[in-house]
Every structure is written in structure tokens, then in C-alpha cells.
Amino acid sequence: MRTSRSLGLIAGTAAIVFATLTVAAPASAATLPPGQKITIVEVENIPTPGEGQFFTVNPANAASTPVGTGSGEFLTGLEVNDDGIGFAIGTFDHEGEIGFVPTLWDADANTGTISNAKPLHFAPGDYPDSCEGIDLNPTTGELLIACEQYEVPELGSVSTVSSVDKTTGLLTAVVLLNGEDFQPFDALAYNAVTGVLWGFGQVELYSSFIIDRTEQSATPEATMDYPVYGADFDRNGQLFLASELENENDADEPSLAVTDPASDDFTSNETFVDTSDDTTLIFVAALTVWGKLAATGSTPGEVAPIAIGSALLLLAGAAFIATSRVSRRKPV
């Protein structure tokens, strides 16, 4: 009888421990709100066919699953709505008088495709030198793009955050920074929870900035632990970054990071690895978080069976322990 009671106590305790482990995820593993997912695009320094590959990324370990086939285009930014439809930016050779200039494409994160290339421009013939930061406001639908121009008459070097005509690529500056205020941005990210537009760029080190359209300003907030090439907030206001880690050979590898833009604390940072061949990606500058509640990705319906199973384990464990205690009170 004593052996049986001990086994019951052990089984009950084990059930409770297992159920608790099932419910509680590791603190270091990044998670997304139900229904949301992360999409990135891989690029290299020189555009060649096969680049511009879309991936869906596991937030917990940065495992990256290919979506579609590479477009062959040099893409430095991606922003889509919760249906996965939006825009990509990069550089493209339009040939003729336009040539190789910053460009806006329509993008579909569901299929990993881009189409309808439009040169980004301030006026006919007035093209920016580079554009990298991009953000799509989920409430208003406004598309913002950060660009730089050098040797502008009477202004010198100019960095702008511009509202974009999505059908023509026309840029209308809403923030203009030049002179001592000049600050290029590699990434833009609007936090719908707080209503703050963040920019990320390099001064001496990579830093976060609060961008204020009314004040026409970009105020530095924090120095980042690692580089920032792409950025987006999830539905709950958690910031994900396309960043970089140094491996054991002192080479830089692209990575998925989570941080608070107002601090330098990276709570996680994992290297992007292609699940199709188990290789590390080469360079990632485009990242977007998207998806509807109870649509694709993790949903309450998928989480429910795990939660129910854990609850049953907890009840079973409690029952084992209760039975064991009752048995002790009975005469043998």
C-alpha cells in the first residue's frame, strides 16, 4: 500500500509540473499576438536573380520558412496590412532617362511577390538618393517612407519622412531634417498602442528616435545594443527588429531581435536560419508584422486544446494527490 501511495503522489506531482511547464513558455522566447506573423525579405549588397526572397519567421527562434520564390530585386523595406497586402521599397533600374533609383512596389506577403514598380520622386525628375525606412499606418492607411538627398541647392544634405502616393510614388515631405538636424533613417515603425512614430538610424552607433511631425523633429531616445535595419510593432506594442549578430568567426549574421525602443535592452536576438536548407541568411533589411485575430498563424482555437489539456493534467494531478492523502487516513 505504501508503494502505491508514493506512486500516486509522484504521478500527481509530475502531472502538475508538466501542466505548468506546458502553460508557461520560456521567458526568453519571443511571442506574437494571436493571428499575427512576421515576414522578412532577404537581400545582398548587389542585386542578382534569386534575391528578394520572402520568409515567414518563427518569433521564438527566428526559423525562417521561404514563401514563394525570390524576385531578384534589391528590397530594403516591407510593410503590409493585416491581410498581408502592402508595399516594398528598394532600388530598381527603370532604364532610359530614369535609370537606377529608389522604387516602390506593390507587395503580397501571402505569396512572397512584388509587382508594379514605381519610381519614388518628389517631383518629375527629382529623385531621392536612397530610401530605406517604410511604415504603413494601420489606422489611417497612410504610407510613410524615409529618404535622403545629398547636395540639394541651398539645403545641403536632407533627410525626409514623406507621405507617399501609393499609385504614383510621389513623395510629400512631412518631416524635413537638414544641417545639424540631418539624420538618415534605416527603419520606421509606428506604435499604434502609444501613437508614437519611431525612427532608427546611425549616428556614431545605431539609435532610436521619436519623430514628431508637428515639431519637424527627430529626438534621439536610446542607443541600440545592435544594428537596426528593419522594424515593426506587433498589435500589442512589442517591437521586432531586423538586426545583426556577430558569430564565432567574427562575421555578422542577420537576426531577429525584440527590444523596447526607449531603452537599449534587447530581450532576445536570434539568427535567421532558412528552414529549407538550414543555412543562415545573408542580409535582411525588410521586416513587417501582420495578421488578423483568429486568422492565419496562432489563434485562440489553436491554443485552446493545449490549455484544456494542461487544465486536465492539473486536475488529474490534484486528484492523485488527494486520493493519496485520503488513503493515508484509512486503516491498513
Give yes or no: residues 153 and 233 share one domain. Answer: yes
Query: CA–CA separation, 311 vs 320, rounded Å?
Result: 14
**Could you tell me the pTM of the whole model?**
0.80
- Please give the single-letter amino acid code of residue 65: T
Express each pLDDT in 262-298 by its tens digit: 987 889 999 999 999 999 999 999 999 999 997 444 4
Q: Who contacts 305 (Cβ-Cβ below 8 Å, separation ≥6)?
A: none
How confident is the model at residue 231, as a pLDDT?
Answer: 98
Give percent above pLDDT 90 in the chain. Answer: 66
- Please give the single-letter amino acid code of residue 47: P
Give yes or no: residues 291 and 318 share one domain. Answer: no
On the question of pLDDT at 317 being above 60, the answer is no
Express each pLDDT in 227-255 by its tens digit: 999 999 999 999 999 999 988 887 899 99
Q: Who contacts 121 (Cβ-Cβ below 8 Å, separation ≥6)?
A: 101, 127, 128, 169, 170, 171
- β-pair partners for 220: 209
The average confidence (pLDDT) of the chain is 83
Query: CA–CA separation, 328 vs 332, rounded Å?
Result: 9
Give yes or no: residues 212 and 261 share one domain. Answer: yes
Query: CA–CA separation, 134 vs 286, rounded Å?
Result: 9
Give yes or no: residues 82 and 144 share one domain. Answer: yes
Give yes or no: residues 304 and 234 share one domain. Answer: no
Give yes or no: residues 293 and 303 share one domain. Answer: no
Please identify which residue in the block is written with the cell numbers 483568429.
Answer: 294
On the question of pLDDT at 299 being above 70, the answer is no
Give yes or no: residues 212 and 98 share one domain. Answer: yes
Give yes or no: residues 266 and 315 share one domain. Answer: no
Which one, of 152, 151, 134, lies nearest residue 143 by Cα? 134
User: Which of 15-19, 49-53, 251-255 bottoms out in mean pLDDT, i.e. has the lowest?
Assistant: 15-19
On the question of pLDDT at 318 being above 70, the answer is no
How confident is the model at residue 264, as a pLDDT?
Answer: 77
Express each pLDDT in 174-207 by its tens digit: 999 999 999 999 999 999 999 999 999 998 899 9
Total of domains in the chain? 2
Give yes or no: residues 92 and 237 share one domain. Answer: yes
Confidence grade of residue 63 (pLDDT, cut at 50, 70, 90): very high
Average pLDDT over residues 305-327: 40
How confident is the model at residue 44, as a pLDDT?
Answer: 67
Query: CA–CA separation, 15 vs 5, rounded Å?
Result: 15
Higher pLDDT, 46 or 202: 202
Give yes or no: residues 69 and 107 share one domain. Answer: yes
Give yes or no: residues 58 and 11 share one domain. Answer: no
Give yes or no: residues 139 and 237 share one domain. Answer: yes
Report whether 136 contacts 86 (CB < 8 A): yes
Express each pLDDT in 80-106 by its tens digit: 999 999 999 999 999 888 899 999 999
User: Which of 15-19, 163-167, 302-306, 316-320 bottoms out in mean pLDDT, i.e. has the lowest?
Assistant: 15-19
Query: CA–CA separation, 181 vs 97, rounded Å?
Result: 32
Q: What is the CATH number of the domain that holds 146?
A: 2.120.10.30
Structural domain harbouring 144: 33-297
Sheet of strand 53-57: strand arrangement: 279-280, 273-274, 63-67, 53-57, 37-42, 284-290
